[in-house]
Amino acid sequence: MDELGAEMLISAVIPVGGRHSDISALYQEYRSGLQQVGARFELIFVIDGPHADVVDSLERIQREDQSVVVVLLTRSFGEATALMAGFQQAHGSIIMTLPAYYQIEASELPKLVAGLEMADMAVARRQPRAGGLFERLRRSLFHGLVAWVTGLHYSDLGCGARVFKKQVIDEISLYGDQHRFLAVLANRQGFRVTEVDVHQSPKDRFDGSYRVREYAHRVLDILTLLFLVRFTKKPLRFFGMVGVITFSLSALVLVYLGIDRLVFGAALADRPALLLASLLAVVGLQLFAIGLLGELIIFTHARHLKDYQVEEVIRFPREAPAPGAGEAPRPALSVDI
């Protein structure tokens, strides 16, 4: 790939939030790893929230290294927003995201960049992974749910080390906690994504334990991913399907009540099932109406939506060669792939 050369500029974006290691030591490791790539680079630290000690350390580093850029956010907005703020300040044709704590060995960064030779985005896959039985089960369940929802199989979406071409982030906007699913969103947009095996840092001490609220958030994130990947441009398929199921249940209950009334003479006035059937019918119609409204919104904005990438455009010469004797002239061909 032509972009991977000595003249390439890599913009490494490092969001610094509530969890971070010693920034000075981490900077030295990342700088050493990027130097091994053999290309120019810049380190963009995005300070997500009040971290005066981190800012002081980076200001001292900046006096000696002008490749360091510090972006201060007014308050804590979350990692996805911090990454987007860093992307806006990036000047490189290659963008890299790195965590503000130890996850992979910095010496593996050249291997990660080399993954772009055959893809548009390379994500790190820590090997071998540390952690106990619960941690392995938690990872397997999470990635299994993602694979079931998206049909894409990834092994380490929690790793913050990624590298991709700038056009990838030009087509994707992150919000909430979608940074974990950056590879999935890039794949959905038509970019080629590959996983690269790298060594896990021996300093990675995170035990993988979260509060119950965090697990609930991850489930909601996966549900959001379901809509983004499968139903962004086809809302009626989801809401209509759920609405049809709900309305069908209502119809079955009403049929049962009708048979019970006409055949067996049972009264309907005091039957809770009648109220349930009415509620299901109303809910089913509402869900179907929501799907129709979504389809109308998508239709009116369809010309502005782009969920594909053109890999190559091949055009045959407009001037066709002179036709042979007895042949009719053939128009030039234009084929878009």
Q: What is the pLDDT of residues 214-225, one digit of tens each?
A: 778 778 888 887
- The candidate with the shortest Cα–Cα distance to 157, out of 116, 198, 124, 189, is 124
Grade residue 335 by pLDDT with cuts at 50, 70 and 90. Answer: very low
Nearest to 293 by CA among 247, 239, 244: 239
Pair 252, 196 in one domain? no
Q: What is the pTM of this model?
A: 0.74
Count how many Cα atoms sit within 13 Å of the Cα of residue 149 in the half-sphere of its side chain: 23
Question: What is the CATH number for 78?
Answer: 3.90.550.10
Average pLDDT over residues 229-242: 79
Residue 325 lies in a domain: no
Task: Among 163, 184, 204, give the residue marking a domain's end.
Answer: 204
Within a domain: 316: no
Q: Tokens standing for 15?
A: 């969001």
Mean pLDDT of 107-130: 92
The rounded distance, in Å, linking the Cα atoms of 47 and 98 is: 13
pLDDT given for residue 133 in this prediction: 80
* Residues 78 and 167 placed together within one structural domain of the fold: yes
Q: Is residue 168 part of a domain?
A: yes
pLDDT score of 337: 37
The answer on pLDDT for 334 being more than 50 is no
60 and 194 inside one domain: yes
Same domain, 195 and 243: no
H helix or E strand, kind and range, residue 55: helix 52-62
Asked if 127 and 174 sit in the same domain, the reply is: yes
Tokens representing 216 are: 């609930």
Residue 72 pLDDT greater than 80, yes or no: yes
Comparing C-alpha atoms, which of 61, 53, 54, 65 is closest to residue 15? Answer: 54
Q: 327 vs 136, which has greater pLDDT?
A: 136
Contacts of residue 6, Cβ cutoff 8 Å, sequence gap at least 6: 38, 39, 40
- Predicted pLDDT of residue 304: 61
pLDDT at 206 over 70: no
Residues 276, 159 share a domain: no
The answer to whether residue 258 is domain-embedded is yes
137 lies in some domain: no
Is residue 331, in this structure, part of any structural domain at all? no
Total domains in the fold of the chain: 2
Place 7 in a pLDDT band, splitting at 50, 70 and 90.
Answer: low
CA distances from 16 to 48, 178, 184, 212 (A): 6, 17, 23, 24
Are both 115 and 242 inside the same structural domain? no
Are 160 and 242 found together in one domain?
Answer: no
Which comes out higher in pLDDT, residue 305 or 89? 89
Domain assignment of residue 212, yes or no = no
Give the tens place of pLDDT for each residue, 258-306: 898 888 888 877 788 888 999 999 998 898 888 888 777 766 765 565 6
Q: Flag whether pLDDT at 167 surpasses 70.
A: yes
Please check whether residue 228 lies inside any domain of the structure. Answer: no
**Confidence class of residue 172 from pLDDT cuts 50, 70 and 90?**
confident
Query: What average pLDDT is seen over the chain?
Result: 83
**CA–CA dist 142, 282 (Å, integer):** 35
Same domain (yes/no): 200, 252: no
Tell whether the model's pLDDT for residue 1 goes beyond 80: no
Considering only 135-149, 218-232, 318-332, which range has the smallest mean pLDDT? 318-332
pLDDT-based confidence at residue 124 (cuts at 50, 70, 90): very high
For the ranges 27-36, 111-120, 197-206, 244-253, which has the lowest average pLDDT? 197-206
Instruction: Look at residue 68 and give its three-state secondary structure.
Output: strand
Decide if 331 contacts 211 (C-beta within 8 A): no
The boundaries of the domain holding residue 107 are 9-131+154-204
Residues 164 and 240 in one domain: no
Residues 106 and 159 grouped into a single domain: yes
Identify whether residues 190 and 251 lie together within a single domain: no
